């Protein structure tokens, strides 16, 4: 019960890593808002974990404001924010990524962190405590070819995490990031370009532990970083990658 008495928002919580984080958070005693652009997926996970479902487009300021207000109406305070929602463009030469694809990747992966901070940081400052966790990627530390602008968006997220941590520490707010390797999530096929045994073997050959990351891996790491056990940890980008970045 590491998160007993805590209220947590998990964006992109309807599937993949976000669903894993929501499940582990609930197991550890947190009240969880499962926020996702897919309303049906959010409802399914929220029902499973006894939480609240919220439809949100994390790239839209009004939608993020509505999500924040819904959480405050339900709980009165927000203790934990997990910025997990993310997308990628398909593997291709960097100059072939369309402007529309670029804008969407940066809006969902980067602008969303600004929008949630704009709404939720003032609440955390008022209560003198809070934990923000940004779900980055090994792509932001050790980029793969042909995913250039996705890599860049995750590098942005890691730098944003460190900058936020420095500024918000005096207010009692900790900000950390997780950097997972490719995992068994809906984005896996997009990273690989095609989901074939050969492509999976190619990806796995770069991971010393020899497997993809799982939603539970992410949930356990997230629960630690957002718990009081990590009260002296802020500004880190923890690699949950089976050794890929070594």
Work out whether the CA dihedral 119, 73, 18, 164 comes out positive or negative.
positive
pLDDT of residue 202: 85
pLDDT of residue 92: 96
Identify whether the C-beta of residue 175 lies closer than 8 Å to the C-beta of residue 165.
Answer: yes
> Within 10 A of 188 (CB to CB), how many other CB atoms are there?
16
> Within 10 A of 3 (CB to CB), how many other CB atoms are there?
24
Instruction: Please pick, among 23, 121, 135, 150, the residue that the annotation labels catalytic.
Output: 150
Task: Output the pTM of the full model.
Answer: 0.95
Question: What φ, ψ does residue 239 adopt, rounded to 5°?
Answer: -80, 120
Q: Could you say which DSSP state residue 213 is in?
A: B
pLDDT of residue 133: 99
Superfamily in which the 7-186+214-240 domain is placed by CATH: NAD(P)-binding Rossmann-like Domain (3.40.50.720)
217: three-class secondary structure by DSSP: helix
> pLDDT (tens digit, 0 to 9) for every residue of the chain, 246 residues total?
999 999 999 999 999 999 999 999 999 999 999 999 999 999 999 999 999 999 999 999 999 999 999 999 999 999 999 999 999 999 999 999 999 999 999 999 999 999 999 999 999 999 999 999 999 999 999 998 999 999 999 999 999 999 999 999 999 999 999 999 987 776 676 667 777 888 888 888 989 999 989 999 999 999 999 999 999 999 999 999 999 999
Identify whether the C-beta of residue 51 lies closer than 8 Å to the C-beta of residue 31.
Answer: yes
What is the rounded distance in angstroms from the CA atom of residue 143 to the CA atom of residue 61? Answer: 29
Q: Assign 3-class secondary structure to 191-205.
A: HHCCCCHHHHHHHHC
Largest separation between any pair of C-alpha atoms in the chain: 52
pLDDT of residue 165: 99
What is the rounded distance in angstroms from the CA atom of residue 226 to the CA atom of residue 176? Answer: 9
Length of the chain, please? 246
Whether residue 150 lies in the annotated active site: yes
146: three-class secondary structure by DSSP: coil
What is the rounded distance in angstroms from the CA atom of residue 94 to the CA atom of residue 91? Answer: 9
């Amino acid at each position: 019960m590491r998160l007993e008495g805590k209220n947590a928002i998990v964006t992109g919580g309807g599937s993949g890593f976000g669903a894993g984080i929501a499940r582990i958070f609930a197991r550890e005693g947190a009240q969880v808002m499962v926020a996702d652009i897919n309303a049906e997926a959010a409802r399914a996970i929220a029902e499973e974990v006894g939480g609240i479902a919220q439809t949100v487009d994390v790239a839209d300021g009004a939608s993020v404001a509505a999500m924040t207000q819904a959480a405050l109406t339900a709980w009165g305070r927000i203790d934990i924010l997990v910025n997990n929602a993310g997308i990628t463009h398909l593997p291709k030469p960097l100059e072939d990524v369309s402007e529309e694809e670029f804008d969407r990747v940066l809006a969902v992966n980067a602008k969303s962190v600004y929008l949630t901070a704009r709404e939720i940081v003032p609440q955390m400052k008022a209560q003198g405590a809070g934990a923000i966790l940004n779900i980055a990627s090994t792509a932001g530390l050790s980029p793969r070819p042909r995913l250039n602008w996705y890599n860049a968006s995750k590098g942005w997220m890691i730098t944003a995490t460190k900058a936020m941590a420095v500024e918000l520490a005096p207010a009692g707010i900790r900000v950390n990031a997780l950097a997972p390797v490719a995992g068994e999530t809906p984005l896996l096929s997009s990273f690989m370009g095609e989901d074939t045994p050969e492509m999976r073997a190619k990806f796995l050959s770069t991971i010393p532990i020899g497997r993809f990351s799982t939603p539970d891996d992410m949930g356990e790491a997230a629960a630690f970083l957002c718990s009081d056990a990590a009260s002296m940890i802020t500004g880190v980008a923890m690699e949950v990658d089976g050794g890929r970045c070594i």
